[in-house]
Amino acid sequence: MDDFLVALEQTTLGQFIHTSSSLLGFPAVLTMHTFGLCFIFGANAIVSMRLLGIAPGIPLQPLRRLFPFMWLGLGLTIVSGFALAIAAATTRLLNPILIFKLVVIIVASPLMFRMQKKVFNKALASDETTVPPGAREMAAGQLILWLVVMVAGRLIAYSATILGEGY
């Protein structure tokens, strides 16, 4: 396993991100990661808060147009997150905080898909004012899960302090 992680770090992409002093290296990838999270959480927060009853005057059906931004954000986050991880694979890919973050993403992504399909594609097709059953729970789950993802991501930067010098 250690040889594989070292090999990942030694890839052209891993070395470029890890050692580049230009703005195209680590800063660009980290910025892309941040924009991805903004798309996911920002659009999700708008949809979820509306489903939870905030701003009930806003029609629900137009909010379905925010889902492509959520999926774009997830794609940006996955691609840039992978790039950030391979740049320091020997420490990051074994980091329990990163592993926890990935597990939460694995739970949050299908929930986001389910909310899109069951709430916005089916349930709201005929009635644009009533929040379908289960939608509030999905919305609360989305807010919590993506917030946890963002907090865990920030904690990765402080892992050596939190988990000890091995990270």
Q: What is the pLDDT along the chain (167 residues), one digit of tens a residue?
A: 788 988 888 888 888 888 877 778 888 999 999 999 999 999 999 999 999 999 888 888 889 899 999 999 999 999 999 999 998 888 888 899 999 999 999 999 999 999 999 888 765 665 566 788 889 999 999 999 999 999 999 998 888 677 765 55
The length of the chain is 167
Q: What is the pTM of this model?
A: 0.86
**CB neighbour list of residue 163: distance below 8 Å, 6 or more residues apart:** 95, 96, 97
| Cβ atoms of 52 and 15 closer than 8 Å | no
- Reading the block at residue 1, the tokens are 């396993």
Residue 165, number of CB atoms within 10 A of its CB: 7
Give the helix ranges, DSSP H, for the chain.
2-9, 12-19, 26-51, 67-87, 89-92, 96-114, 135-156, 159-163
Domain boundaries, given as residue ranges, for the chain: 2-163
| Cβ atoms of 143 and 48 closer than 8 Å | yes
